[in-house]
Structure 1
Amino acid sequence: MSIYRCLIVAGMVLPAVPAAAQPRLQVELLRLDCGTLDVKLENFSDTGMYAGQKRTLAASCYLVRNGDRYLLWDTGVDGALAGKPKDKQGTFLKETIATQLSRIGLKPSNINYVGISHYHYDHTGQLTDFPNATLLQGKADWDIVKVWPPAEPRYRRWLTGGGRLELVEGDKDVFGDGSVRMIDLPGHTEGHHALLVKLASGPVLISGDQYHFTENRTVGGVPSFNVNRADTLASHDRFEKLAKNLKAKVIIQHEPADISKLPAFPETAK
């Protein structure tokens, strides 16, 4: 059957409005508290900019609602840390993502997609709590996950074929309506992505680890642990041009001041 379904009005056959022209569902964005990290900053610049400095970074993640479908963006630090004192590495988690979701009537099984910006532990720590979700992962990152032992416990379900997996090359239109896109920004890791969410109030660009804090963005810094300096700088350029051209609200995921640009959970940005 043609996508132009027919309507019979007053004896006349008229084409229906194409699906692409239908009003888009309202998209909502919620910020989640997914932990904090005490870090030494000397490795956050490969030019020695932060020698001797320390900082507490946030480990934030985000829930996107599109109609009755949900995307969880990143999964923070290990859920086993919830409610405990800081560990030896200075990592802290007040409560799990699942506990937060329960306060808005959701269960892990309600999450359709889990999008991962990159494979580092502070972005994948509670991935195992969402075994029924389709995992969206940069293909170049997945190639590392397959051979990097520290990632195996978090990714085991998908590595063994027990979970649904969609490997992302380039950008990815998550819901197929242009409202939410994974943005290809390699350099921090091989297949690193950011997330662009188009709200009625304006677009929001969520950084992944393109940057880690405001000063890092201001100077266009490159951490020494990034896998490719040239790719990082090219991704800085794309990120900034997207933010400028779309007039997007930028959220640096590790920057508490940026996270507070969004309403406090469980309020939503629309």
Structure 2
Amino acid sequence: MTGNGAREVLAIRYCTRTTTRAENFLNHHLYGEPDADIEMDYYFWVVRDGAGTILVDTGFNPVVGDRRRRAWWTTPADALPTIGVDPGSVHTIVVTHAHWDHTGNLHQFPDARIVISQAEYDFWTSPMARRSQFVTHAEADEIAYLQRADAEGRLTLIKGQHTLDDGTELIEVGGHTPGQVVVSVPTATGTVVLASDAVHFYEEVERDRPFAIIADLPAMYRAYDLLADLAARPGTSLVAGHDPLVRTRFAPHPAGPDVTDLTAARESP
């Protein structure tokens, strides 16, 4: 296994859409501001070194994206070769949470180990997940795939904090979903914290504005506090899960405009 000096962390954008602030921020009317359009990017993340590749989430399945009227232009298996990664080198997939835009395309990596929090897995395989306020955010076929992976011995369930073999740390925070996980990756240039949907937009943390889709509001606030603390540490970069600002706060990758090098900061927030 290589050391942190060879590790690269990339964000790959595969979809974008225009939505509204009122749709995305909980009780937006409380802020006394008019509604306005806001751009929302969709990413999955790649952690790679000489020992292989870790995927953090797998985006949404194109069929599901079409049904949900989301424009898209690539999937993980198609995008990885453009950055010089053999899809067969993916040995681990971290599922930060089980919403539909993070669990699609798991089938593209049938030999990879899948890591998800116990709380997340238990919730989405329970009757509560079929209630109307939850069921719309997940795909039954993708939850069933996680269950099959569990039966095959390919699923690793974690609680609290868990460190992968390469030193990548998973931290269960909850909030957005019952077992939402954030991912802290040590590299030669510092620590990259992939918030995934614990923070969709930077202003959730920077202006204390919770996201509209939520399982536990106090837990969401605690996650913001934790991530703000991590981001304040020297050499640590916070990466929001859906914010177009990711593409301005970090450097572009030579592979093209939809790939951002998270190990190379372009400018300070």
- Which TM class, normalised by the smaller chain length? 0.7 to 0.9
Q: TM-score, normalised by structure 2?
A: 0.80
- Give how far 1:90 is off: 4.6
What amino acid sits opposite 2:164 in the alignment? Answer: V
Higher mean C-alpha displacement, 185-194 vs 62-71: 62-71
Distance 2:236 2:84 in 1: 30
- Give how far 1:247 is off: 3.5
Choose which of 173, 180, 188 in structure 2 pairs with 1:185: 173
1:46 is matched with which residue? Answer: 26
Bigger radius of gyration among the two = 1
1:133 is matched with which residue? Answer: 112
1:55 is matched with which residue? Answer: 38
Q: C-alpha deviations, 1:2-51, integer Å up to 9, x for none?
A: xxxxxxxxxxxxxxxxx9xx966632212222322433332433332476
Distance 1:87 1:78 in 2: 9
Query: Any conservation in 1 of the 2:189–2:235 contact (CA below 8 Å)?
Result: no
2:61 is matched with which residue? Answer: 78
Query: Any conservation in 2 of the 1:39–1:90 contact (CA below 8 Å)?
Result: no
**How is 1:96-115 mapped onto 2 (pairs within 5 angstroms)?**
96-115=75-94
Task: Structure 2: give runs of 5+ residues left out of the alignment.
Answer: 131-137, 265-269
Distance 2:63 2:153 in 1: 22
Query: Any conservation in 2 of the 1:38–1:89 contact (CA below 8 Å)?
Result: no
Identify, as 1 or 2, the structure richer in helix.
2
Distance 1:199 1:105 in 2: 19
1:100 aligned counterpart, secondary structure: helix
Query: Any conservation in 2 of the 1:32–1:265 contact (CA below 8 Å)?
Result: no
- Are residue 28 (structure 1) and residue 8 (structure 2) matched? yes
Query: Any conservation in 1 of the 2:176–2:214 contact (CA below 8 Å)?
Result: yes
- Give how far 1:65 is off: 1.3
Distance 1:30 1:24 in 2: 14
Describe the shift of the 1:236–1:132 C-alpha distance in structure 2 as closer, same or farther (beyond 3 A). Answer: same
Distance 1:77 1:88 in 2: 11
The sequence identity of aligned pairs, in percent, is 23
Distance 2:182 2:227 in 1: 9
2:155 is matched with which residue? Answer: 165
Distance 2:51 2:96 in 1: 23
Please provide the CA RMSD for this pair. 2.7
Distance 2:183 2:251 in 1: 15
- Are residue 145 (structure 1) and residue 124 (structure 2) matched? yes
Describe the shift of the 1:152–1:246 C-alpha distance in structure 2 as closer, same or farther (beyond 3 A). Answer: farther
Choose which of 214, 218, 224 in structure 2 pairs with 1:226: 214
Query: Any conservation in 2 of the 1:127–1:155 contact (CA below 8 Å)?
Result: no
Distance 1:126 1:146 in 2: 19
Query: Any conservation in 2 of the 1:187–1:228 contact (CA below 8 Å)?
Result: yes
Query: Any conservation in 1 of the 2:39–2:244 contact (CA below 8 Å)?
Result: no
Distance 1:224 1:153 in 2: 25
**How is 1:209-224 mapped onto 2 (pairs within 5 angstroms)?**
209-224=197-212
What amino acid sits opposite 2:156 in the alignment? Answer: E
- Give how far 1:265 is off: 5.6
1:202 is matched with which residue? Answer: 190
- Give how far 1:195 is off: 1.2
**How is 1:1-12 mapped onto 2 (pairs within 5 angstroms)?**
none
- Give how far 1:70 is off: 1.4
1:75 aligned counterpart, secondary structure: coil
2:35 aligned counterpart, secondary structure: coil
2:134 is matched with which residue? Answer: none
- Give how far 1:257 is off: 1.6
Distance 2:34 2:229 in 1: 30
Q: C-alpha deviations, 1:43-93, integer Å up to 9, x for none?
A: 433332476333221111111113222110111122347xxxx85755111
Describe the shift of the 1:88–1:121 C-alpha distance in structure 2 as closer, same or farther (beyond 3 A). Answer: closer
